[in-house]
Amino acid sequence: QKEVEQDPGPLSVPEGAIVSLNCTYSNSAFQYFMWYRQYSRKGPELLMYTYSSGNKEDGRFTAQVDKSSKYISLFIRDSQPSDSATYLCAMARTTSGTYKYIFGTGTRLKVLA
Amino acid sequence: EAGVVQSPRYKIIEKKQPVAFWCNPISGHNTLYWYRQNLGQGPELLIRYENEEAVDDSQLPKDRFSAERLKGVDSTLKIQPAELGDSAVYLCASTPREGGTEAFFGQGTRLTVV
């Protein structure tokens, strides 16, 4: 079983829709939870990171962490065609005093104009 | 502020040939990572540097891969000899400090081994 599971999609939605992207994880040692956006042929770009359970909002983006269920989500409100990209979840845990990051496989999102 | 710079952007080589990738992290970032990203997958860590010291190279296939970060700034990743299965995007990332969660990625080098 992978430490981080993410549905690869693709996910197609109409412009203006609310998008929900999710990841589950199996290791309760993860402490930091991140979402990256990756456009085609580009490197990942950090969107948001959270440390604790709960919600964190930044503009049209909301990150949600539920440690009890080992489940994280990214919500995108009023989705735009420019949001079309692959969204990667990532998690970090300490090992031997340093941080180890594990990425999900990414979910491909297409927002249709 | 310039971001993480990687070169080349694309590389096509025949199997058994050597290849090298170069990364210049963001100025002042002490932590540097090399990741490999296969098609349809998330990045997987190859090696992590704190300044010039490789502190996590457990996932680096040491029989053919090597890396260095002289003077704790630029880094190179080398494969010798390359195999067909090495075709992937090689990403470099840096963070301002050890354990920093805000990793900044370069655009990657897309390697195709034929």
* pLDDT tens digits, one per residue of B2-47: 799 999 999 999 999 999 999 999 998 888 999 999 999 999 999 9
Q: How many domains does chain B have?
A: 1
Could you list the residue range(s) of the whole structural domain that residue B109 is in?
5-113
Q: Which chain B residue has the Cα nearest residue A42?
A: B107
Do residues A112 and A17 touch, judged by C-beta distance below 8 A?
Answer: no
Task: Give contacts of A 45-104 with B, CB under 8 A.
Answer: 45-46, 49, 88, 90, 92, 94, 98-101, 103-104
Residues of chain B contacting residue A36, judged by C-beta atoms under 8 Å apart: 105
The answer to whether A44 contacts chain B (CB < 8 Å) is yes
> Over 70: is that where the pLDDT of B1 sits?
no
- pLDDT band for B99, please (50, 70, 90 cuts): low
> From the CA of A98, how many Å to the nearest CA of chain B?
6
Facing A44 at nearest CB: one of B45, B101, B105: B105
Nearest CB to A32; choose among B45, B56, B101: B101
Helix (H/G/I), strand (E/B), else coil: A34: strand
Looking at residue A2, what is its pLDDT? 83
Q: Answer whether B98 sits within 8 Å of A99, measured CB to CB.
A: yes
Does the CB of A34 have a partner CB in chain B at under 8 Å? yes
Give the Cα separation of A83 and B93 in Å (integer): 22
SS3 of chain B: CCCCEEECCEEEECCCCCEEEEEECCCCCCEEEEEEECCCCCCEEEEEEECCEEEECCCCCCCCEEEECHHHCCEEEEECCCCHHHCEEEEEEEECCCCCCCCEECCCEEEEEC
Residue B90: exposure state from Cβ atoms within 10 A (0-12, 13-18, ≥19): buried
Q: Which CATH superfamily is domain A4-102 in?
A: Immunoglobulins (2.60.40.10)
State pLDDT tens for residues B61-95.
999 999 999 888 999 999 999 999 999 999 999 98
Paired tokens of B88: 């992937």
For the segment A50-89, what is each residue's pLDDT rounded down to a tens digit?
887 889 999 999 999 999 999 999 999 999 999 999 999 9
Confidence (pLDDT) at A97: 62
**What is the pLDDT averaged over residues A38-46?**
94
Q: Domain ranges in chain A?
A: 4-102
pLDDT at A96: 66
| Chain A residues with CB-CB distance to B97 below 8 A | none
